[in-house]
Amino acid sequence: MSVVPALARDLMNCRIVDLSCDVSVHEKGPFETRMDVVEAADGARILCERMIGHIVPGAEGRLHAGDFPDSAFLRHEMVSASTHAGSHIDAPGHYGPPHDGSRGHINDAPLEAFVGPGVMLDVTGIPGWRVEARHIKAAVEAAEVTDLAGSIVLIHTERDKAIAADVIETLVDRGVRVIGTDADGFDGSFERIIRRFLETGDRATLWPAHFIGRRLPYYQIERMRNLHELPATGYVVMALPVLIEGATAAWTRAIAFVPPSP
């Protein structure tokens, strides 16, 4: 059997786990998402009355809503959203000026970085609000993983824990370029970050998991879902970023291919 049919067969035998959440107008966060909808019936009227002359000069009055089936054209949505809405990937340029002098744009990211063996590290049982390197080392041991290089590491927190900067150091040092979490942000909520700084005056509390990416370039996937459906290892993650010119982050529809149990 040739390689392509064999690959297709293997993929078709896998269970696909959706690891993404919606870009939603109901999403809570510092940035608003808005969606303006043009229904299909309104679309026919708008096309015929407002747009047609710009598309085909001189065609005004020659195409009517009634010329379309059911007097309806096409439904259309205009979305205004942050590149950090929904499940998304942050590139190094998002963290501030990269120390290596690169742009750090998401469109510069190598696609092969976002397809690879997945490693799910379950830290849901740890106390406190922050995942630290010691927790990750224990989770790696529990998962019986010896080689993390090239893996896409997914940190399962039940959405309520920040990721400490020493976690990033630990994983990047072991050859990991892409790290995901089901939390809304690697450093936790904006409110908690700002409150901690106001209470302590410690600048090191300000977005440490992001800022460390200036000198240790890595990609982070935030707002993932369904990590509890994954085994620790033995599957492939694919989380390709949408191409957005000039951006340092982009939305993703992340999935996992989980093969059947032997």
Total domains present in the chain: 2
Both 71 and 187 in one domain: the answer is no
Last residue of a domain, one of 63, 80, 97: 80
Task: State the pTM of this model.
Answer: 0.92
Same domain, 71 and 145: no
Tell me: do 101 and 182 sit in the same domain: yes
pLDDT in the model for residue 3? 67
Q: How many CB atoms lie within 10 A of CB 45?
A: 15
Tell me, yes or no, whether 28 lies in a domain.
no
240 within some domain: yes
Mark whether 234 and 174 lie in a shared domain.
Answer: yes
Whether residue 113 is found in the same domain as residue 232:
yes
Q: Are residues 175 and 199 in the same domain?
A: yes
Residues 105 and 229 in one domain: yes
Residue 190 and residue 74 in one domain:
no
One domain for residues 45 and 124? no
* Domain CATH for 126: 3.50.30.50
Output the CA torsion sign for 94, 99, 105, 109.
negative
Beta strands in the chain (DSSP E): 15-18, 34-38, 76-80, 88-90, 115-122, 130-131, 152-156, 162-163, 178-181, 219-222, 236-238, 249-251, 255-258
Query: Are residues 174 and 248 both part of a single domain?
Result: yes
**54 and 170: one domain?**
no
Q: Would you write out the chain's pLDDT as a tens digit for each of its 262 residues?
A: 566 788 888 889 999 999 999 999 988 777 899 999 999 999 999 999 999 999 999 999 999 999 999 999 999 999 999 999 999 999 999 999 999 999 999 999 999 999 999 999 999 999 999 999 999 999 999 999 999 999 999 999 998 899 999 999 999 999 999 999 999 999 999 999 999 999 999 999 999 999 999 999 999 999 999 999 999 999 999 999 999 999 999 999 999 999 998 7
Residues 67 and 107 in one domain: no
Q: In which domain, by residue range, is 44 found?
A: 34-80
Q: Is residue 245, in this structure, part of any structural domain at all?
A: yes
**H helices present in the chain, as ranges:** 3-12, 40-46, 52-55, 133-142, 165-173, 190-200, 208-211
